[in-house]
Structure 1
């Protein structure tokens, strides 16, 4: 396999290699054991010491673990723990002990509207994939998820019969893992069609969540609008640092709001 380290990247080569291996780990490219040091030396055409430095970064991050005499393995529990915060609405509902089911309302390719084209970095009118579904918990309508996906990154995507979580499907089928998401929430009056699908009275209030999400390579992959029942939201505040070890640290006292998809069990 051709090494995919950027040619004009001026960072130390071991940092670049660590970033490439990190992307492979998050995408599920390595199922369990990663390539041996000698194979990586041949692939990246660097010294063994450089490969060892790259692997040490990932060991320190908890993504890899070494087993004496057998090799270096993906630490699946650490990967799941580290990126659990990046959840789909399906993940949020399942975490509350509800049985999730879906009704697909629309699914297929369409020309990118201006906002999506700008976010995905595509020419206006380039194909994107729209997937709209009613999400139910214990057979009760909870949300309508209207998602646009970057079809340029998800070649041959087809979700018309999707019956599981979107993020899990994208990872399994296309090797793309959502590792960063920017969410915004606002209360609105439900349009008539939305109120009917959610089993609400005309003019009822709902929450709208808008999400812009990026994959393990930093590529924009998802633009979603989720119309939800007016459930209590779980809001927390945490101090955060840089997303990756090779990025510069942010200014002092960076704060971020973290909002869950809400308590759907009430």
Structure 2
């Protein structure tokens, strides 16, 4: 199992061993892995070496640590292509998962100067502030905070927000969504994000900030979404030239 003559670091060999167990389905999503002490005794290596291997797998999302419970095999990550502008609901339905939302906050607030500028409205104009947890098969996937002009997107209710907002905007209001600018970066979960997503504070997350426009160029929304790093990954297909 461990080749001490190999130039490959022992911690990396342990990582590959655990990944092989997953590929062979000896360990499945939700299963607990052996303890650090068990790995130490099995491989006759230091606990520090074992801990480095496990930490690396946690950081890449293969494993997940649950405080007070242990370390487990993560569920398979959901892949989200970065091409095309789709809603969370549409993405989950395409994957055969049940989309859902848990509303944390919904209300009208006056637009700050910065938000008003980006939405092309006047400062203090009414805007919707929506905070919701996005679910897939009832599991928290992302925490989303959204701002929309109340004079543009009229008649929003809590019921509408808990369903597909894009569907309401296009089918009910007759507005045509055109394009969006997105910024994607890695980060770590703050206390509030960890609480709503069911992860540990400082766990890896994916942060996306989206500025969406209608076909006529009018700004539609500002969205900040925090995705669980252990359950989500984004992919992009790139062509040369």
TM-score, reference length from structure 1: 0.55
Q: Residue 86 of structure 2 aligns to a residue in which SS?
A: coil
Cα–Cα, structure 1 residues 161 and 105, in superposed 2: closer, same or farther, change >3 Å?
Answer: farther
**Higher RCO by CA contacts (8 Å cutoff, separation 6 or greater):** 2
After superposition, the Cα gap between the structure-2 partners of 1:238 and 1:222, relative to the gap in structure 1 and judged at 3 Å, is farther
Q: Distance in 2 between matches of 1:161 and 1:170?
A: 10
DSSP-derived class of the 1:237 partner: coil
Output the CA distance in 1 between the equivalents of 2:146 and 2:84. Answer: 19
CA offset at residue 236 of structure 1? 2.4
Please state how far the C-alpha of 1:112 moved relative to its aligned partner.
0.7
Q: 2 CA distance for matches of 1:124 and 1:100?
A: 34
User: 2:205 matched to which residue of 1?
Assistant: 206
> What residue is the counterpart of 1:118 in the other structure?
117
Q: Which residue is 1:89 aligned to?
A: 88
Pair 238,212 (structure 1): closer, same or farther in 2 beyond 3 Å: farther
Shift of 1:158: 2.7
Q: After the TM superposition, which segments of 4 or more aligned residues of structure 1 sit over 6 Å from their partners? A: none
**Alpha carbons 1:167, 1:177 under 8 Å: kept:** no
Question: Is this contact kept in 1: 2:189–2:200, CA < 8 A?
Answer: no
Q: How far off is 1:139 after superposition? A: 0.9
8 Å CA contact 1:104–1:160 kept in 2: the answer is no
Separation of aligned partners in 1, 2:224 and 2:196: 15
Q: How far off its partner does 1:238 sit?
A: 5.4
Aligned partners of 1:187 and 1:138: how far apart in 2? Answer: 25
Contact 1:88 1:165 in 2 (8 A): yes
Inter-CA distance 166–156: structure 2 relative to 1 (3 Å threshold)? closer
Partner SS state of residue 233, structure 1: strand
Question: What is the CA distance between 1:162 and its match in structure 2?
Answer: 3.0
Which sections of structure 1, spanning at least 5 residues, go unmatched?
Answer: 1-83, 240-252, 254-266
Larger Rg: 2
Distance (Å, rounded) in 2 between the aligned partners of 1:208 and 1:96: 22
Quote the offset at 1:161 in angstroms: 5.1
Structure 1, residues 126-185: CA drift from partner, whole Å, max 9, x if none?
Answer: 111111111110111000111101222123333455332111111122111211111111
CA distance in 2, matches of 1:236, 1:88: 19
Number of residue pairs the alignment of both structures matches? 157
Residue of structure 2 in register with 1:197 after alignment:
196
